[in-house]
Amino acid sequence: MSVAVERTRLWVLVAVALFAGVVVAAPAGAATGDRASSDRRISISGGVVVAQDETVDGPVVSIDGPATINGVVDDDVYVGSGNLRVNGRVTGDVLVADGDATITGRVGGDVISVFGRVVVRSGAHVGGDVVSRRAPQVASGTVRGDVKRINLSSILSGFLITFLVFLWFAVTVSVAILGLAFVVLFPRAADATVAAGRRVWPSLGWGALVGIVGPILGVVVLVTIVGIPLGLGVLSALNVLSPLGYVAACLLLGRTMVKGTSTGGRIGAFFAGFGILRAAALIPALGFIVWFVACLYGLGALTIAAWRAGHAAPVPPTDVPPAPPEPAPAAVGTGAEAPAPSETPASSDG
């Protein structure tokens, strides 16, 4: 039996167990034990038997063990692991997770066997549908609804495809928001990353060092009690840097097509590369490889840009106003004399 089927069987059994827990937690009726009427019948292990003269006004649940219904169950019947036989009457539905269901009496609803077979004998009656993984054996005229066979492979494939589509959509929206914020709020960092990413092989090398060796060292440090904070910090930082590396890869790819240096040019470049990489992510198997390489490449470009920014030589300030010009010296030896200040002639008496 395949691993996927085994996992599905486990989840079904867990679901039946959880339902049983809810039923057990519900308020109990007054009549239990050997009385002819009870509100429900629950068995964790060992099976359940409803006697011929007994009426159960509630669900019947058997988690691990067979169930036999000779009397009346005025509700549903659930069996986790074990076979079910209905010789009496069940007004609701019947669900068997891992086992066969044999009906010789009457069932008002559906009869479902997830991993087994449903057998409806002559003289029995099923008011709903009959569904089982193995081909049902149904006597003519005993089932009012449809008789179907469960295709677990198709169901699991449908669940997997739905999950992958949802995951792709969630990653696409989140990366688009992150990339837009990066190019708008940090334009200089975006330009520095593009400049660093022109060196493809060094960027891939640094990306592999940070993105592959970094998590390994984080796990190794995490093993030691003293290094737990450091290990958690490294792993947490990589959870943030990996999407940012993907954003940088989108920008680097888009810059090969869009050359504008304005904010609009940066945004256009990012979404051009982003659209190509997200379309490649839809290709099975290849999408994961493209995502992995893009993260390493972008992460390496970010690392190189950060290194350059931290080790760049200080630039002298250029906004200091120029010094005022020196005053011109007075002319000497030109034969001209500076005019003397005018004097007021003294007044005469005569």
Proportion of the chain above pLDDT 90, given as a percent: 51
Same domain flag for 129 and 171: no
Closest listed residue to residue 184, CA positions, set 281, 287, 266, 292? 266
Lowest mean pLDDT among 67-71, 120-124, 154-158, 161-165: 154-158
Strand 72-73 versus strand 55-56 pairing type: parallel
Per-residue pLDDT reduced to its tens digit, 191-208: 999 999 999 999 999 988
pLDDT at 288 over 80: yes
Rg (CA), the chain: 41
Per-residue pLDDT reduced to its tens digit, 51-92: 999 999 999 999 999 999 999 999 999 999 999 999 999 999
What is the predicted pLDDT for the residue at 315?
56
Does 77 map to a domain? yes
Q: From residue 5, how far is each of 2, 8, 11, 117 by CA, in Å?
A: 5, 5, 10, 16
Lowest mean pLDDT among 3-12, 98-107, 156-165: 3-12
- Domain closes at, from 94, 120, 150: 150
Same domain flag for 209 and 101: no
Distance CA 305, CA 312 (A): 10
Same domain flag for 141 and 168: no
What is the predicted pLDDT for the residue at 322?
61
Same domain flag for 11 and 146: yes
Same domain flag for 83 and 165: no
Same domain flag for 169 and 255: yes
What count of residues does the chain have? 350
Taking residues 140-145, report their average pLDDT: 93
pLDDT band with cut points at 50, 70 and 90 for residue 329: low
pLDDT band with cut points at 50, 70 and 90 for residue 26: very low
Per-residue pLDDT reduced to its tens digit, 203-260: 999 988 888 887 787 777 777 766 677 777 767 777 778 899 999 999 999 999 998 8
What is the predicted pLDDT for the residue at 126?
95
Same domain flag for 13 and 144: yes
Lowest mean pLDDT among 165-174, 263-272, 308-317: 308-317
pLDDT at 339 over 70: no
What is the predicted pLDDT for the residue at 223?
75
Q: From residue 96, how far is each of 74, 79, 163 by CA, in Å?
A: 17, 5, 26
Taking residues 28-44, report their average pLDDT: 60
Structural domains of the chain, count: 2
Cβ proximity of 298 and 252 under 8 Å: yes
Does 348 map to a domain? no
Tokens of 272: 């051009």
Per-residue pLDDT reduced to its tens digit, 112-123: 998 899 999 999
Strand partners, 79: 62, 96
Name the DSSP letter for residue 232.
H
pLDDT band with cut points at 50, 70 and 90 for residue 268: very high
pTM of the shown model:
0.54
Which secondary structure element, helix H or strand E, spans residue 94, and what is its range? Answer: strand 94-98
**Structural domain of 92:** 3-150
Does 326 map to a domain? no
Between 2 and 66, name the one with better pLDDT. 66
Strand partners, 130: 111, 147
Does 119 map to a domain? yes
Same domain flag for 283 and 199: yes
Does 328 map to a domain? no
Distance CA 29, CA 59 (A): 12
Does 315 map to a domain? no
Same domain flag for 183 and 231: yes
Average pLDDT, the chain: 81
User: Quick one: CA torsion of 175, 181, 183, 188, rounded to 10 degrees?
Assistant: -130
Does 197 map to a domain? yes
Same domain flag for 101 and 238: no
Proportion of the chain above pLDDT 70, given as a percent: 76
Does 126 map to a domain? yes
pLDDT at 277 over 50: yes
What is the predicted pLDDT for the residue at 96?
93
Same domain flag for 139 and 192: no
What is the predicted pLDDT for the residue at 24?
45
pLDDT at 20 over 60: no
Cβ proximity of 192 and 203 under 8 Å: no
Same domain flag for 34 and 142: yes
